[in-house]
Each structure stands twice: as C-alpha cells, then as structure tokens.
C-alpha cells in the first residue's frame, strides 16, 4: 500500500502499490543524492511523472501513454471498472476514463486522477472509500465529491487519500484506528481534511494507517500502530498525524500491511513496523517502532510496500526485493523468504514498481509492464492464473511507445541575441557583443552603471558565439567553450565563486566545453559538449536541478541529465531537451510550468508528461512552450493571457509550421518555417507586435516582419534575428533596450509638443501638467484612468484631460490626480481602490469627477492612497485610505472613507501635503502639523510612532511650503532654506549623510529656494536664479546629473526653470520659455517619449 509521489501530483499509494523513480518528493534537507549506483542516462520514474502503475489485493492498474486506464485481476467488487464483476487475466480498459495521469489501488477499490484535477473511484464502497457520499459498490467510475484540483491519490485497504494542488490532504473511507487523520474514528463517505498537515508532497496508505511527507522533508503517520508502523516509538494508534521519529530529508513513503518505508534524499531507505517476514530489510525479524536503515541498499529512487514484503527501484533501474516470498513475489526465481534485499531475476531496467498483496509489478521504459508472484485471479495479466517467481510480461494492448521523435538530429545553434528584463544583447558577425538598456547592475558590461539607449560594445569580449540575459546579468559563450558573465551577482549567478557584482565580463569558474547557455532571473545554465547541464546562482526553488535547495556561486551539475541538446531558463525554472525528443524540467512549479501535472517545485529534473518528438523549447516566467517535429506548438503553466495553460502540455490548435519559439512573462512568440512571426498572450508593452496593446488568446501575425530565424523575449520586449543577420525589436523600451535612442534619461530632455505649462507633477509612471490657460495635460501609463482622457491607454505624448478647464492647481498622487478649479471645487480621476477620489465610491475613473461636498478649496494634496484639501475657512478635510491614521480622525482602519471628512482641531490652515501614509498641514503662522504613518520618522516629532491626530512638527517655524513622499518630508522656510526629516536611506534629506532624522535638519548649501518637490526617496529644489537642484535616489537617472549614482547633497541639473515637480521615479521642470523637461525612469512613457514600440523596428549596430 504505497506509492510514490512526485511531489504532490504523483503520489499515490495503494493497498500495496507504488510507482516511482529518481527524485520523487521534495526533500526538506536539500542534499544532492549520492546513489550507490551511478544514474542511467535517463532518470527513472522522475518526480515529474505521477505513478502510472498500481497493485491492489489481487488486481492491477496501469495508465497508458494515451491517458486511458487499464485493469486486470480480481473483480469481485467491480474494482476493474469494466461494468461487470468478471475477473480478467489480461488487461481491459476501464470504461469512460480519459486523460488519466495517475492511479491507486486499494484492497478492492480503485482510484484515478485526471488531468483536470478530478478524482474518480470504482469498486468496493462498504466503508465509503469511493468518496461519493454513499456506501454503494460501483462497477464503473464515479467522481469523488468536491475535488477539482487533485494532484495525487493513495489507497489503503478500505480508505483513500488525496493531495490537492495547495499541498493540503483529504481522506475518506474506513477510519477504525483513525487512519483518516481527522481526530475521530468515524467512517467518512466524503472527503474530510486531515488535521494539521500542509505542504504535503508525498503520501502513502497502508492497510489501516496513512503516511505523508511534507515539503520540509519530515514524514508523518497516523492510524493503526499496533506493530509500530507509525514510527513514533510507540504502539499507540493515532487519530491525527504524528511525526515519524528521526527521519531527515524524507522524499517518499510507502505503506504495507503493517510496515512502512521511506526513501531519503541521500538515496537510502528506512523502514519500520512489523518485520515478521523480514520486510524491513535489516537482516532481522525484529519489530521496529522507529525507522532503521534497510541494509545493502543505496541510490534508491522509489519504494513500494506489499503485504509483508517490500520493493525498491534504484537509479539504474534495478529492482530489489525483500521479505515474504512464498508466492514468488520477490521475483528472484525462488520461494525463499529474504530478510535482506535481493535483485529480481529480470535484468531489464524498470522505471516504476508497485506491490500488491502477494504480487508485484514493474514498468519498463518502453511502456511494457512486468508482473510476478501470486496469480490466482489473473493479477499478473499474462492470460493465465499460474503464479510466477520471475518477472513476465503483462499482455497489454495499449500503445507501448510514444510517438517517435524527429528523424532529423537536433542541432545546437548558437543564439546571437538575448533579452533580459530591461536590457538586450546582440552578437555581431565579428564575434563582438553589443548591449543596450538598463545598466543599474552593470549588465551592459561596459564598466559603468549608466543606462544606454543605443547599442554599445562590451569591452574585451571577442569570439563570442551566443549570449543570454537574466533579470540583471548577462552571459556570453565564446567559441573556445568558455562562458563569461557580468552584471548582478547577489545570488552567485555570475559563477565567479563570489557574490559581488561585476561591471565587466568575468570568466565563469570551472566550466569548459560549453556549447549553449541560458539565463534565468537570477541563475545561469550551461550545456556542455558531453550532453550534461550545469547551473549556478539562486536555487531556493530548485532551479539548479542538483537535488538541493542551496544556491551555488560556481557551476554544479544538474542531476541525472545526459544526452541534452538544448536548454532554456525561465524566471525560476529550467528545461532541457534531450536527443530522444523528450523534455525535462526542474525548479519552480507553482504555476505548472514544469508540465508534470503538478504544482510542486522539483529540485531535480522530471520529464514533461505526454510530450515527445520535441525539436525546440522555451521557458517563460511562469509558463513553458515547445515545438514538436510536426511543427505543432504545445504549452503549459501560467501565462496571463496565454491560452496554453495548465500543469500538463496543451496543443495550440490549428497552428503548424513552427520552427523557433520564445516565451516571456505572459506572452509567446513563434517563427514559422515561412519566416513569419506569430504571437499571443499579454500585450501591455506592445510585445505582440501588432501595433496596439490588446492581448490575444490566439496567434496573431506580426505585420511586416519576414525572414525571421530566431526569437528571444523577456518581460515585455521581443528581439528577432533575420536571415540576413539583421535584428528587429518591439515592445517595452523603458530603458532603451530596443536600441533606438529612447528610454530612460539621465539628464533632462524636452517634452514635445507641450508648451505653456505653469505647473507639473508625476505619479508612479505618468505625468501631469497645468497649462497657463487652465487646461490640464497628461501622458504616460494610462492604466486605471490615470490620464483622465476617457481611456486606460498609455501614451508617450501629452494630451488634454477630458472636460477640464479653469484649473489653478494640480496635485498628483501615486495613481490618481486632484485638480482645483478657480471656483473652489475639486476634481479627481484615476485609481480609486481606497476611496481617494472622494466621490463616494471606490471605482476607478478615467475622466474627472467632482469631489463631493467640498467647496471653497484653497489647497489640495494627493497621496498614495488618500487625499487632502484645505478650505478657505482654514479647515482641513481628508478622505481615502486610513490604515495608518492618515485621515487624522483619531482612528486607523483598513476600511476606506470615500467621502471628505473634516480633521478636528485644525484651524488657520493654508496648505496641505500628502505622503504615502502620512499627512501634513501648514498653518498661516508658519507652523507644520503632521499625522499618520511615522515608521521613518517622517512626522518630525522625534519618534517613529504613528499618530492618529495632528501634532506639531518640533522646532519648525516660518514654513511656506511642504513636500513629502514615502517616509521623508521637506519644508521650505520663508528665509529660502530647506529642512528635511524622516528616512534617509539614499541621502534624500540632502544633508550629506544617510542617517535618518526624526526631527528637522537643514539641507546644506541651498539658499534663496523658491519651491521644493519630493519624489520617491529624492528631493528637488528650485532656486531664485532658475536653477534646479536634486538629490537622493538615482538608480534610474532621476537625479538628472548624467549618472545613476545616489547623491546625498544637492547637485544642479537645469537652469532657466520656473516650476518643478516629481514623480516616483522621474523628475519634471518647466522652463521660463514654457517648455517642459523630464528625466529619470520612462516605464510608462512618463518622460513624454513612447516607452513601447508595438511594431517592429530595426536595431542598428554601429
């Protein structure tokens, strides 16, 4: 009664059944397996493949390659699912089941999980073990109640278990000793939760006990314990799970009649419980209430527990057996009992095993099944009822081999182009590398951190054949087989043996004879000429595939993989294409991107199910795609608008002729044999290349693009290589990664055609300007109606806000804007999840609506998620989010207030300022009052304690203007000096330090200041001579002095200015000639330059 799991989706146990292979489950202690025997070229029974084989009391089950289920043997209770009770000595198809991924067999009942996550059951139901709410025997499969996301099942004698995709466990059926784990002894005919278990990755069911392995590598057991089969050192039954004593790094479990087995991450096997027949394999017949090691056994991939015997399959495919053998169930050609493991007589390699009452099964790589042992009911499936002491072939009529792979050998073709998160790499014909885009971590390799909107050479690299790009690091493969890396290295992704960034290429250590490279978000891969794969960098989701969860700053070998011809790395998962046309995957699997039918992360490679004959692969952030030899495209995982979603591969219907493929965050691009390019999925950056920004669930052709041979894509941009060696690009261009000279600006640049602005401001990724004629103009990311033009579209050039005139003041928050009219009314538009628009609702608005109940407004301020206004009578009013007490009403609550309410106790107020979580009011006497969030000391009261009512800022008088954002605040005094307080992480207080200040301190070196502004951890000042000075965070060039270096003291960036404003990551200024200038980040087009190119453009190399 056991079965392997594949980490929740392939677990399964059955009265005595199991199937498995290398690396099932998720070990808690991430150690690389060290099997006694070297692994075969092809890993056996990988965790990606749920068990397809199960053995019950006297019947057997098998999932064929086409997803049908076959059964043979005893059928007295209808456990064969054929609609009758006639036994069969050869396999027959279970009626009405298609798309099965795994099975389990109890004494006289059967279970199956289908690819849609449903569970089906048939056979004996005396104790409710079919889970359909009855105790009625079923001769045909019925659906188990209420389960839609199953990943694995297990069956005991008369009870059943299922693991759901979230790692929780349900049980139903017999519960006499408490084997359902619900704290009772009540039989259940419908699934009930097992108490206290989460993150379950492997399960098994014995006769009257149950077992589970959690993601942390601990093993748990409950139910009957008379023989110590729970492994807790006692013989007391348990109604809820109890921890198995002394097991570290458990990977899989198996449950027999009265004994239990577990495989560990090091390839060893432990056993406990009844040992009367030597079924614990320790050379004795002594009962064990705590685990002991099975002797003479190592490198084990999977185990199975029968009535009083045990089976194991090692990484070489050898099958081992021990315990009772009176019916030949050990398969060694004798009926002799064995207290120590012996190898079965059949020399063929197996990929899975299952153990029934007194018979055994093994699956071969070619899809055939072997059986041996007792055969009185035809459970060996050979057409007889004669028992066997050596394995013999089951006479199955199912397809035994998958479709053949392409007859053409898969060639390794270097990829001369790479797309990182926000940077691009291309290889010229002369073997040099050119880079463009974001360079914050030095990923452009030119020795600086300056962003670049046009291609520039990576110095010192020659003879390069291929490149790859991660989130913020880059790789290059030279023709001599060495790999070079540069950029971010916080996780060791540069492979240099350290964790320090490098702004120029460094050689990856201990790696030679590489023929292909791939870069994930924060990890790297290389394929060597011997067909092995090596990885380095972050590994907390198993993306290095070496069987551990430990990151590595130098290359480590991906476990059990050989014969690989292509590799691909996604956000946190990776794939490899073998020469036999199969695809293997490892790493993060929460979105099903590994294609093994589960959502369980894999620390070592597992085979993508139901997919053969593959010629090309691509791993995206959360999904994966592949091309088969017939030109069809298959996909799995999650991709936003991606129609090919799910934990198992799905074909894109009607699409043929594919030859090259690329996967991004939520989109896919394919080049067909005719040279055209087709895309589908999300399109928020124009990455579909259709000229617009509408997503598409079906393939759409990229217009005007032909003769394409290779494609790469990442977060939101796509690069293509044409047959003439030229490059094309489209999509996101916020840092100039398309190489056309646009993108982020490190120095101010003019916004055209805007003229006549008198005030400017910015939000997260958009900008707003007030013109002298009282109209308001906006540009950038229009999501949530931020631009107020009646749409949610992004725009790189200014356009007027709809139906708005007579405006005298604007205030721009994170995602919403306030505008004060000359009649004293207030108008708002944009994002409104928290009621910050003040119109009585919490719905986004893409055109201005009047703030209700407010007149005679004299000053206004838009914060991140709340808003403020001062009225002509000196009162202050607030509305929106109040989690930190920023509304000043004496409370803090998550419940938003969408209607303006007066802040009690404040009079004589002439101006207001709103930050991320805090609020400020300026009194006519020059004092400042503050309330709300204060975790950075931004309230200036000398503490970091939030305040729900206004309190005066200590020691500050004669203030004429306030500016705030995030956790820092600035004040301009009447004498022209600037004072700051709060957080100072990047020098945003401008005092020459990064020391936080809970009370105001002067910003040195500034005098005759006329206006101030505050961005995200950045300050601005406009002086009387028209010069603009900035300081603080500068990673995106938002300081504007031509670098990305943070500045803790003010630097001059512009002259001739009359007004300034700041967005989160960009800066704005109006010059005396009425022109508007911007600099910094341009992710939404907020600089007045289109950040996206929704149609292909040429990338010109110097």
Report the pLDDT value the prediction gives residue 638, as an integer from 0 to 100: 87
Specify if 721 maps to a domain: yes
Residues in Cβ contact with 495 at an 8 Å cutoff, skipping those fewer than 6 apart: 483, 485, 508, 509, 511, 524, 536, 537, 553, 554, 555
> Is the dihedral angle over the CA atoms 1043, 1048, 1053, 1058 positive or is it negative?
positive
Partners of 476 in the β-ladder: 467, 484
Q: What are phi and psi of 157, to 5 degrees?
A: -60, -45
Which pLDDT tens digit goes with each residue over 406-430? Answer: 333 323 356 789 999 999 999 998 8
Report the pLDDT value the prediction gives residue 640, as an integer from 0 to 100: 56
Instruction: Tell me the residue range of the domain where 133 lies.
Output: 53-393
Report the pLDDT value the prediction gives residue 747, as an integer from 0 to 100: 79
Same domain? For 693 and 818 the reply is: no
Burial 689-722 (b: 16+ CB within 10 A, else e): bbeebebbeebbebeebebbbbbbbbbbbbbbbb
Q: Indicate the pairing of strand 845-850 with strand 826-830.
A: antiparallel
Residue 33 has pLDDT above 70, yes or no: no
Specify if 562 maps to a domain: yes
Same domain? For 423 and 382 the reply is: no
Which pLDDT tens digit goes with each residue over 824-867? Answer: 999 999 999 899 999 988 789 999 999 999 999 999 999 999 99
Q: Do residues 368 and 349 lie in contact, with contact meaning Cβ atoms separated by under 8 Å?
A: no
Same domain? For 759 and 686 the reply is: no
Same domain? For 638 and 760 the reply is: no
Burial of 1072 (0-12, 13-18, 19+ CB in 10 A): exposed
CA distance 2 to 106: 10
CA distance 162 to 172: 9
Kindly report the pTM of this predicted structure.
0.58
Which pLDDT tens digit goes with each residue over 997-1032? Answer: 999 999 999 999 999 999 999 999 999 999 999 999
pLDDT band at residue 448 under the 50/70/90 scheme: very high
Same domain? For 831 and 771 the reply is: yes
Q: Which of 3, 733, 624 is nearest to 305 (CA)?
A: 3
Q: Do residues 238 and 225 lie in contact, with contact meaning Cβ atoms separated by under 8 Å?
A: yes
Residues in Cβ contact with 637 at an 8 Å cutoff, skipping those fewer than 6 apart: 591, 592, 593, 594, 595, 620, 622, 623, 624, 645, 646, 647
Between 1012 and 894, the more confident residue is 1012
Specify if 194 maps to a domain: yes
Between 145 and 549, the more confident residue is 549
Specify if 346 maps to a domain: yes
Residue 289 has pLDDT above 90, yes or no: yes
Report the pLDDT value the prediction gives residue 413, as an integer from 0 to 100: 54
CATH, residue 220? 2.130.10.30
Report the pLDDT value the prediction gives residue 51, as an integer from 0 to 100: 84
Same domain? For 906 and 984 the reply is: yes
Residue 869 has pLDDT above 60, yes or no: yes
Burial of 284 (0-12, 13-18, 19+ CB in 10 A): middle
Query: 484-488, 617-621, 732-736, 752-756: which range is least confident on average?
Result: 752-756
Specify if 78 maps to a domain: yes
Same domain? For 821 and 961 the reply is: yes
Residue 36 has pLDDT above 80, yes or no: no
Q: Which of 700, 732, 764 marks a domain boundary?
A: 732
Same domain? For 709 and 773 the reply is: no
Same domain? For 383 and 303 the reply is: yes
Q: How far is CA 6 from CA 214, 542, 628, in A?
A: 12, 14, 25
Q: Do residues 5 and 25 lie in contact, with contact meaning Cβ atoms separated by under 8 Å?
A: yes
Q: DSSP states of 564-592 as a string? A: EEEEEE-SSEEEEEETTS-EEEEE--TTS
Burial of 18 (0-12, 13-18, 19+ CB in 10 A): buried
Q: Which of 697, 732, 767 marks a domain boundary?
A: 732
Same domain? For 503 and 568 the reply is: yes
Residue with tokens 């070489």: 316
Q: Which two tokens stand for residue 719?
A: 């690069």
pLDDT band at residue 4 under the 50/70/90 scheme: very low
Which pLDDT tens digit goes with each residue over 897-954? Answer: 999 999 999 999 999 999 999 999 999 999 999 999 999 999 999 999 999 999 999 8
Same domain? For 728 and 759 the reply is: no
Q: How many domains does the chain have?
A: 3
Which pLDDT tens digit goes with each residue over 167-176? Answer: 999 999 999 9
Specify if 488 maps to a domain: yes
Report the pLDDT value the prediction gives residue 235, as an integer from 0 to 100: 95
Distance of CA 356 to the CA centre of its chain: 39
Specify if 621 maps to a domain: yes
Helix (H, G, I), strand (E, B) or coil at 626: strand
Same domain? For 807 and 869 the reply is: yes
Specify if 25 maps to a domain: no
> Is the dihedral angle over the CA atoms 17, 20, 25, 28 positive or is it negative?
positive
CA distance 808 to 788: 17
What number of other Cβ atoms are within 10 A of residue 465's Cβ?
A: 21
CA distance 1049 to 1046: 9
What number of other Cβ atoms are within 10 A of residue 87's Cβ?
A: 19
Structure letter (DSSP) for residue 785: G
């Amino acid at each position: 009664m056991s079965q392997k799991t594949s980490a929740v989706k392939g677990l399964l146990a059955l009265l005595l059944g199991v199937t498995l292979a290398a690396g099932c489950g998720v070990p808690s202690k991430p150690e690389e397996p060290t099997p006694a025997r070297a692994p075969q070229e092809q890993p056996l029974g990988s965790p990606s493949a749920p068990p397809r084989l199960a053995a019950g009391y006297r019947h057997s089950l098998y999932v064929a390659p086409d997803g049908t289920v076959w059964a043979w043997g005893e059928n007295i209770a209808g456990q064969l699912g054929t609609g009758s009770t006639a036994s069969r000595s050869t396999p027959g198809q279970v009626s009405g089941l298609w798309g099965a991924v795994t099975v389990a067999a109890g004494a006289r009942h059967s279970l199956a999980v289908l690819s849609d996550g449903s569970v089906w059951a048939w056979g004996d139901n005396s104790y409710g073990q079919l889970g359909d709410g009855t105790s009625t025997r079923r001769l045909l499969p019925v659906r188990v109640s209420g389960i839609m996301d199953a990943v694995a099942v297990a069956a005991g004698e008369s009870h059943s278990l299922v693991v759901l995709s979230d790692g929780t466990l349900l049980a139903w059926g017999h519960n006499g000793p408490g084997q359902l784990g619900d704290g009772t002894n009540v039989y259940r005919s419908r699934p009930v939760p097992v108490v206290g278990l989460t993150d379950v990755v492997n399960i098994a069911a014995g006769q009257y006990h149950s077992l589970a392995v959690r993601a942390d590598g601990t093993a748990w057991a409950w139910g009957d314990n008379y023989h110590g089969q729970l492994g807790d050192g006692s013989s007391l039954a348990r109604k809820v799970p109890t921890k198995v004593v002394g097991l570290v790094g458990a990977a899989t479990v198996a449950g027999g009649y009265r004994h239990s087995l577990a495989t560990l991450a090091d390839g060893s096997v432990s056993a406990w419980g009844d040992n009367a027949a030597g079924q614990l394999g320790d050379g004795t017949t002594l009962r064990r209430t705590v685990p002991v090691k099975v002797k003479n056994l190592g490198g084990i991939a999977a185990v199975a527990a029968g009535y009083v015997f045990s089976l194991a399959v090692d990484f070489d495919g050898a099958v081992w057996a021990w315990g009772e053998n009176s019916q030949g169930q050990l398969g060694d050609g004798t009926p002799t009992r064995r207290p120590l493991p012996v190898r079965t007589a059949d020399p063929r390699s197996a990929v899975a095993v299952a153990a029934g009452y007194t018979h055994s099964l093994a699956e071969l790589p070619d899809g055939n099944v072997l059986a041996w042992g007792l055969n009185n009911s035809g459970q060996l499936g050979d057409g007889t009822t004669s028992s066997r002491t050596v394995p013999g072939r089951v006479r199955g009529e199912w397809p035994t081999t998958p479709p053949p792979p392409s007859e053409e050998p898969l060639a390794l073709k270097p990829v001369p182009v790479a797309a990182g998160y926000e940077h691009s790499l291309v290889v010229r014909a002369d073997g040099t590398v050119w880079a463009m885009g974001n360079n914050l971590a030095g990923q452009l390799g030119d020795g600086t951190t300056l962003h670049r909107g046009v291609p520039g050479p990576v110095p010192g690299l020659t003879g390069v054949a291929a490149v790859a790009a991660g989130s913020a690091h880059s790789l290059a493969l030279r023709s001599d087989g060495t790999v070079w890396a540069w950029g971010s290295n916080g996780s060791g992704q540069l492979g240099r043996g350290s964790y320090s960034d490098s702004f120029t290429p460094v050689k990856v250590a201990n790696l030679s004879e590489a023929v292909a490279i791939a870069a994930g978000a924060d990890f790297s891969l290389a394929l060597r000429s011997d067909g092995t794969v090596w990885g380095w960098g972050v590994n907390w989701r198993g993306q290095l595939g070496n069987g551990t969860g430990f990151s590595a700053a130098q290359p480590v070998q991906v476990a059990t993989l050989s014969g690989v011809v292509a590799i691909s790395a996604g956000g946190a998962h990776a794939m490899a294409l073998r020469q036999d046309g199969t695809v293997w995957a490892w790493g993060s699997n929460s979105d099903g991107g590994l294609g093994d039918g589960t959502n369980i992360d894999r620390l070592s490679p597992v085979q993508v199910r139901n997919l053969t004959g593959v010629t090309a692969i691509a791993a995206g952030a959360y999904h994966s795609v592949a091309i088969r030899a017939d030109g069809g495209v298959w996909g799995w995982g999650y991709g936003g608008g991606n129609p090919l979603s799910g934990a198992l591969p799905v074909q894109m219907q009607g699409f043929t002729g594919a030859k090259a493929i690329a996967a991004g965050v939520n989109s896919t691009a394919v080049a067909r044999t005719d040279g055209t390019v087709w895309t589908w999925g999300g399109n928020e950056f124009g990455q579909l290349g259709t000229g617009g920004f509408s997503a598409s669930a079906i393939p759409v052709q990229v217009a005007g693009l032909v003769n394409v041979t290779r494609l790469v894509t990442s977060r939101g941009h796509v690069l293509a290589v044409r047959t003439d060696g030229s490059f094309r690009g489209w999509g996101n261009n916020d840092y100039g990664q398309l190489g056309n000279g646009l993108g982020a600006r490190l120095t101010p640049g003019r916004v055209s055609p805007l003229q006549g602005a008198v005030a400017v401001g910015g939000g997260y990724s958009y900008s707003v300007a007030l013109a002298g004629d009282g109209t308001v103009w906006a540009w950038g990311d229009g999501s949530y109606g931020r631009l107020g033009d009646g749409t949610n579209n992004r725009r790189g050039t200014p356009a007027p806000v709809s139906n708005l005139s007579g405006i005298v003041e604007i205030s721009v928050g994170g995602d919403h804007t306030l505008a004060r009219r000359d009649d004293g009314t207030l108008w708002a538009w944009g994002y409104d999840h928290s009621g910050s628009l003040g119109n009585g609702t919490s719905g986004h608005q893409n055109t201005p609506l009047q703030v209700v109940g407010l007149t005679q407004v004299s000053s206004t301020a838009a914060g991140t998620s709340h808003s403020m206004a001062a009225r002509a009578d000196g009162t202050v009013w607030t509305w929106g989010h109040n989690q930190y007490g920023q509304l000043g009403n004496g409370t803090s609550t998550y419940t938003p207030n969408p209607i303006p309410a007066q802040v009690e106790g404040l009079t004589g107020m002439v101006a207001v300022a709103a930050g991320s979580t805090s609020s400020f009011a300026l009194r006519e006497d020059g004092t400042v009052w503050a309330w709300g969030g204060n975790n950075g000391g931004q309230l200036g009261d000398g503490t970091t304690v939030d305040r729900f009512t206004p309190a005066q800022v200590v020691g500050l008088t004669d203030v004429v203007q306030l500016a705030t954002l995030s956790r820092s605040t600035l004040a301009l005094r009447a004498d022209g000096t600037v004072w700051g307080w709060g957080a100072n992480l990047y020098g945003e207080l401008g005092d020459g330090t990064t020391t936080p200040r809970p009370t105001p301190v002067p910003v040195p070196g500034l005098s005759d200041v006329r206006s101030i502004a505050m961005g995200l951890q950045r300050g601005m000042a406009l002086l009387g001579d028209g010069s603009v000075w900035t300081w603080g965070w500068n990673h995106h060039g938002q300081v504007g002095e031509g670098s990305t270096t943070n500045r803790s003291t003010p630097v001059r960036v512009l002259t001739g200015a009359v007004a300034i404003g700041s967005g989160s990551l960009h800066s704005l200024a109006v010059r005396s000639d009425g022109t508007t200038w911007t600099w910094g980040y341009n992710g939404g087009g907020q600089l007045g330059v289109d950040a996206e190119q929704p149609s292909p453009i040429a990338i010109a190399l110097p």
